[in-house]
């Protein structure tokens, strides 16, 4: 099964599905409402990351419950959407960027399923390259880029953005980690569509607001949904991948 973890602009995917059933999935980390959709003849499990009404802030999202719920319903491949600010002028507002690496500056999040035993999962390719290839064939995207995850909920300072750029960051957001690494620990292929909503602090001409984030996502909503639908059509949801064996050699 294909999993979609969506932020703003993706909630409408449930309305466009051929059929939709809501399911409350229990995990040891909490209950998660998952919509099981029929899209293009394939089963798709959808979770709105911030819940209905965009009510949960980035630092309060139950990332472990979300990933575990998708695992429990049979998801083997996840596409997430993340609104981001750009630190790279070659990734302007309105772009869809498929990252290939990340820098983690989040602070107070539980970042692993394995708190009672030692597991060192490899993240040399944290974002699944096979899914990246499918996304490349599914729409107008920019391939590659380093995603910087901050704790939020505040936006970053100009000095922080300057530092992230010096470290090689291209995009900055608040929701990509630990989602990506938790998916790896559950041996699920994972990749992200980063929607560039604005330039980051110190690069943008004015103050950053959540309104401009929502405005850009709304402006690109139709293109984003088309990209996701094309991905669903093009992906082989039964194909094996190295991501599905990520724990081989990871456990002590």
Give the Cα separation of 22 and 34 in Å (integer). Answer: 6
Q: How many domains does the chain have?
A: 1
Name the residue with higher pLDDT: 216 or 5: 5
* Residue corresponding to tokens 């790896």: 184
Give the Cα separation of 161 and 164 in Å (integer). Answer: 5
Question: Is the N-terminal amide bond of 213 cis, ω within 30° of 0?
Answer: no
Give the Cα separation of 221 and 73 in Å (integer). Answer: 27
> Residue 250 falls within a domain, yes or no?
no
> Residue 107 falls within a domain, yes or no?
yes
> Residue 251 falls within a domain, yes or no?
no
> Residue 206 falls within a domain, yes or no?
yes
Give residue-wise pLDDT tens across range 43-62.
999 999 876 666 788 999 99
> Residue 193 falls within a domain, yes or no?
yes
Instruction: Tell me, letter by letter, the H, E, C secondary structure of 91-153.
Output: CCCCCEEECCEEEEECCCCCCCCCCCCCECCCCCCCCCHHHHHHHHHHCCCEECCEEEEECCC
pLDDT band at 25 (very low <50, low <70, confident <90, very high): very high
Domain of residue 219: give its range: 2-245
Question: Is the N-terminal amide bond of 178 cis, ω within 30° of 0?
Answer: yes
Give residue-wise pLDDT tens across range 161-177.
999 999 999 999 999 99
Give residue-wise pLDDT tens across range 97-147.
999 999 999 999 999 999 999 999 999 999 999 999 999 999 999 999 999
Give the Cα separation of 150 and 156 in Å (integer). Answer: 8
Give residue-wise pLDDT tens across range 80-91.
999 999 999 999
Give yes or no for residue 14 having a pLDDT over 90. Answer: no
Question: For the domain that residue 24 is a member of, what is the CATH number?
Answer: 3.40.50.1580
């Amino acid at each position: 099964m294909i999993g979609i973890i969506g932020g703003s602009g993706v909630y409408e995917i449930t309305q466009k599905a051929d059929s939709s059933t809501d399911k409350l999935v229990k995990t040891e980390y909490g209950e998660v409402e998952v919509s099981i959709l029929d899209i293009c003849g394939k089963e798709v499990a959808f979770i709105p990351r911030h819940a209905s009404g965009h009510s949960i802030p980035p630092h309060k999202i139950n990332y472990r419950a979300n990933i575990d719920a998708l695992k429990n319903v049979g998801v083997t491949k996840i596409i997430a959407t993340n609104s981001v600010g750009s630190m790279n002028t070659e990734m302007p507002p309105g772009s869809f960027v498929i990252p290939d690496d990340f820098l983690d500056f989040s602070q107070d999040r539980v970042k692993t399923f394995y708190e009672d035993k030692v597991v060192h999962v490899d993240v040399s390719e944290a974002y699944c390259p096979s899914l990246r290839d499918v996304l490349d064939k599914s729409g107008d995207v920019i391939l590659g880029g380093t995603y910087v995850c901050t704790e939020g909920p505040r936006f970053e300072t100009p000095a922080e953005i300057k530092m992230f750029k010096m470290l090689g960051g291209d995009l900055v957001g608040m929701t990509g980690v630990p989602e990506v690494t938790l998916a790896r620990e559950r041996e699920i292929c994972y990749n992200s569509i980063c929607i560039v909503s604005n330039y980051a602090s110190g690069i943008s001409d004015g103050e950053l607001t959540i309104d401009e984030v929502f405005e850009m996502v709304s402006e690109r909503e139709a293109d984003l949904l088309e990209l996701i639908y094309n991905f669903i059509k093009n992906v082989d949801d039964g194909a094996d991948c190295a991501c599905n064996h990520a724990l081989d050699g990871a456990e002590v």
